[in-house]
Structure 1
Amino acid sequence: MAKKARQYHSFDVMVLGAGIAGVSTALHLRRLGLDTALVDRTHPGEEASSGHAGIIQRNGFVPHVLPAGLAQLLGLLFGPSRAVTCHPGSLLRLAPWLSRYRKSSNGADADAYSRTIAPLRSLAVEEHLELAGTTNADRFYRRGGWLQLARTDEAYRKTEVERYYARVFGVAYEELAEDGVSALEPGLKRSNLKGLHWPESWSVSNPGGVVDAFWRGFVQEGGSYLRADARKLQRQRGGWLLESERGTVFAPHAVLALGAWSQEVLNGLGETYPLAVLRGYHMHFRAVSGASLSRPVVDIENGFALAPTDRGIRLTTGIELAVRDAPPNAIAVRHAKKRAEELFPLGKALQETPLMGCRTCLPDSLPVIGASPVSPGLWFNFGHAHDGFTLGPVCGRLLAEAIVGKTPAVDLTGLSPLRFWE
């Protein structure tokens, strides 16, 4: 009996990675008239996108700052706050990256970050709402901003640079003393808190649900979804080839939007970018009877967030720097829960074990958006760090515009892959 020939599928472009960045890119490409395939190994939104606190941040003009001194850096990474930690077995491998990041998070480089990220943040909410309104995802979106909490005067003083840039770029915020915090979120039980309320930001009740709705909209509008291992991407004369569960996929253009798995594909193509992995953990809890939150709240000193979601109160931890496949940090959520319960009463855990998500970050804290400098037809949309959920729709739109030859709504020079090539 003759062996059945494998099917051959040809598209204008294939998008590798079905997190919010990849799904948004595919949806915009489809709306610009390109026959588009979205490719991933798992269901859209199941990796890092699903574990986000759900904040669409209108502010955020300052990168996380690492101290210059070694003793202070080690104190931050391994100290009691847990806002930023480092997996012990990963420290030596990450040392060169940490050195580059420290330089880029201060002085003129930090100012360049603020001015590059500002145009993206100015469009972030608008782009989310545009996609949400046309994909039945708008049911997940809510106004009300988010609340940044400081337990000490020192922690509050650290927000001054962020407040300065908010004033520069015309982003509203409210400075709250103890009574203001209590009025905004009466469910918080700790006193003597100061806060910053960012009312122009939005949030969602189900980040994974948002990505799923965007994906369903993409398919309903004629896009194709294929299961495949993007690490097997191959150059082919005139384009790119990938074996999927449904046969061979070919496209003259390929978009790499694989987040923490991007470097594996890049290595196979002879391209290297200074990517580090940021891991985070999340878990859901039932709120104690009578206690509620109206918006996400973030503890400045400890880095965790508490967010009301469709699945209960979501607790997300601070950032853990680690090799992607290092063993999970079993105590991360336990530590965050202990500090979180000082602010808000958490009830029964609604899942047995925490879930971990991995994101990628470049030393300048900015994503890579644009064409590969060495691989014709290959395009990049990765490295969003903790801003992937916020920036996914706008970065997807900008890259799609670049691929079809339109002038993007935002100048992509500061996000170009060329900044890492000499």
Structure 2
Amino acid sequence: MKNILIIGSGIVGICTGIELIRRGYSVTLMDPNQPGSQTSYGNAGVISDSSLMVINNPQLRKSLFQLIFTKQTSFRYSKFFIFLRLSWILRFLIFSHKNHMEFAAKALRELQVLSLKAHQELIKKTNSKNNISKPGWLKLFKTINSYKKYYLELDVLNKNKAEYTILDTEQIKKQFPDLEESFFKGVLFKNSLRVKSPLALSKKYFNYFTNSGGGYLKEECKDLNYKKGRWSINFNKQNLNFDEVVVAAGPWSKKLLFSLGYDIPLAWERGYHHHFSIKKKTNINPAIHDIEGGFVFSSNGSEIRVTSGVELNFMDASKNEIQINESIQKLHKILPLDKKLTEKAWLGSRPTIADSLPMIGKAPKHKNLWFNFGHNHIGLSTSAGSAVILSEMIQNKKSSINTDPFSPKRFNL
């Protein structure tokens, strides 16, 4: 039985561990933090098979001037970051064309359909149904102009046979009467799931992993070496050896792999969130993306979670709560928020590869080293599917989907 180390215990690492154990491997997760407590904790809580539109699409170039010179709730950036990571920015913009948009959408559709099915099986196995509501994902538009800008994404959804329902103003009011602001249109995704508590889901998955025989090291991986066909790690005067290593460390993957000679084209889209009590209980199942507002919110009856847009900055930069505070001000007009339940805003970093696709597959320079990171804003949606295809690669079996778009070989590493 091969012994495999997975570096990173976020939702991607946990799902990968579960899948590898299912296939007969001995698996250990390694992470200095509690499982699911970092980037996997701070997200909108959506599992969808229809999050297909990458950020670097043709509309990005058209709106570039506005993004640079107009401060928006949906997007902020650090000038210092832009200056020091200009090569990554330019590389990111190079992919902002129609051909890449359509190529990426097709690849993400295959991965997310596979992932949704794998998540549904895990939800049953881990008794997590009470943490799930459906449909789970709704985009709302206040004006006809913002909805018209969405036509490009609708075209992408249609080409990839994604299932959704378009709601008009009256249908939105009828289905979601608790919303105190009027919306022009809504797009409700049929097959989507909302995870009420992403952390609770990660914990359930992790417990299933350990109950299935998985190991866990609450340590930081600082000393990873490859000698005589095996990987070794050293910590607390201990030395452990593994046959294979999977790097699933999300935003920390870049730093970890740089020490092994890989310059990963990865940057960090930071995001914030807060929790509020509400003056009256709400009955809203899906997580809601207010397009003009530039934020996402979701309801658990008497509690509201609000998540900010993107802040392009270094992982360890100081907090800047302007975006999340603007989101809260806008949300006050939509729902009767009461008391803030979180003293400080939570901050996390979403790992983004230059082409907005995750990096899943064999490392180009080392034997028995595998990558599974860079899942951008949709790590929860793609985690279970990426675990399946990576496990198939490790087994040297035919993949369930086309994995070429996610190959690390697509970059000169």
Q: TM-score, normalised by structure 2?
A: 0.95
Supply the distance in 2 between the matched residues of 1:249 and 1:303 (Cα, whole angstroms).
46
Supply the distance in 1 between the matched residues of 2:83 and 2:65 (Cα, whole angstroms).
12
* Number of equivalent positions: 411
Identical counterparts, % of pairs: 29
Supply the distance in 1 between the matched residues of 2:49 and 2:340 (Cα, whole angstroms).
31
Helix, strand or coil: the match of 1:250? Answer: strand
The residue number in structure 2 matching 1:248 is 239
CA contact 2:102–2:156 (8 Å) conserved in 1:
no
**Cα displacement (A) at 1:223:** 0.8
CA contact 1:284–1:311 (8 Å) conserved in 2:
no
Helix, strand or coil: the match of 1:117? Answer: helix
CA contact 1:233–1:265 (8 Å) conserved in 2:
no
- Matched ranges for 1:3-402 at <5 A: 12-64=3-55, 65=57, 67-68=60-61, 72-77=63-68, 79-244=70-235, 247-309=238-300, 312-402=303-393
CA contact 2:140–2:186 (8 Å) conserved in 1:
yes
Supply the distance in 2 between the matched residues of 1:251 and 1:60 (Cα, whole angstroms).
36
Counterpart of 2:399 (choices 394, 402, 408) is 408
**Cα displacement (A) at 1:355:** 0.4
**Cα displacement (A) at 1:77:** 4.6
1:323 maps to amino acid: F
The worse-fitting range, judged by mean Cα deviation, of 31-40 and 109-118 is 109-118
**Cα displacement (A) at 1:241:** 1.2
2:166 maps to amino acid: E
CA contact 2:49–2:162 (8 Å) conserved in 1:
yes
2:32 maps to amino acid: R
Q: Provide closer, same or farther for how the CA distance between residues 302 and 270 of structure 1 changes in structure 2, counting only shifts above 3 A.
A: same
**Cα displacement (A) at 1:158:** 1.8
**Cα displacement (A) at 1:309:** 3.9
The worse-fitting range, judged by mean Cα deviation, of 49-58 and 238-247 is 238-247
Supply the distance in 1 between the matched residues of 2:330 and 2:69 (Cα, whole angstroms).
16
Helix, strand or coil: the match of 2:52? Answer: coil
**Cα displacement (A) at 1:294:** 2.3
Helix, strand or coil: the match of 2:343? Answer: coil
**Cα displacement (A) at 1:344:** 2.0
Helix, strand or coil: the match of 1:230? Answer: coil
2:191 maps to amino acid: E
**Cα displacement (A) at 1:122:** 1.5
The residue number in structure 2 matching 1:7 is none
1:109 maps to amino acid: H
**Cα displacement (A) at 1:67:** 3.4
CA contact 2:10–2:39 (8 Å) conserved in 1:
yes
What value does the CA root-mean-square deviation take over the aligned residues?
1.9
1:180-221 Cα offsets, whole Å, 9 max, x none, are 111121111112432111121111111011111111101001
Supply the distance in 1 between the matched residues of 2:365 and 2:117 (Cα, whole angstroms).
33
CA contact 2:136–2:285 (8 Å) conserved in 1:
no
Q: Provide closer, same or farther for how the CA distance between residues 383 and 135 of structure 1 changes in structure 2, counting only shifts above 3 A.
A: same
1:78-98 Cα offsets, whole Å, 9 max, x none, are 524321221233121232222
**Cα displacement (A) at 1:405:** 1.7
1:229 maps to amino acid: E
Q: Provide closer, same or farther for how the CA distance between residues 328 and 74 of structure 1 changes in structure 2, counting only shifts above 3 A.
A: farther
**Cα displacement (A) at 1:233:** 1.8
**Cα displacement (A) at 1:109:** 1.3
1:240 maps to amino acid: W
CA contact 1:78–1:86 (8 Å) conserved in 2:
no
Helix, strand or coil: the match of 2:60? Answer: coil
Supply the distance in 2 between the matched residues of 1:289 and 1:178 (Cα, whole angstroms).
23
CA contact 1:78–1:85 (8 Å) conserved in 2:
no
Q: Provide closer, same or farther for how the CA distance between residues 74 and 228 of structure 1 changes in structure 2, counting only shifts above 3 A.
A: farther
CA contact 1:156–1:194 (8 Å) conserved in 2:
yes
Helix, strand or coil: the match of 1:68? Answer: helix
Q: Provide closer, same or farther for how the CA distance between residues 19 and 192 of structure 1 changes in structure 2, counting only shifts above 3 A.
A: closer
Query: Gapped runs of 5+ residues in structure 1?
Result: 1-9
Supply the distance in 2 between the matched residues of 1:390 and 1:310 (Cα, whole angstroms).
23
Supply the distance in 2 between the matched residues of 1:33 and 1:251 (Cα, whole angstroms).
15
CA contact 2:359–2:374 (8 Å) conserved in 1:
yes
Q: Provide closer, same or farther for how the CA distance between residues 396 and 185 of structure 1 changes in structure 2, counting only shifts above 3 A.
A: same
Query: Gapped runs of 5+ residues in structure 2?
Result: none
1:68 maps to amino acid: R
Q: Provide closer, same or farther for how the CA distance between residues 341 and 220 of structure 1 changes in structure 2, counting only shifts above 3 A.
A: same
Q: TM-score, normalised by structure 1?
A: 0.93
Q: Provide closer, same or farther for how the CA distance between residues 105 and 364 of structure 1 changes in structure 2, counting only shifts above 3 A.
A: same
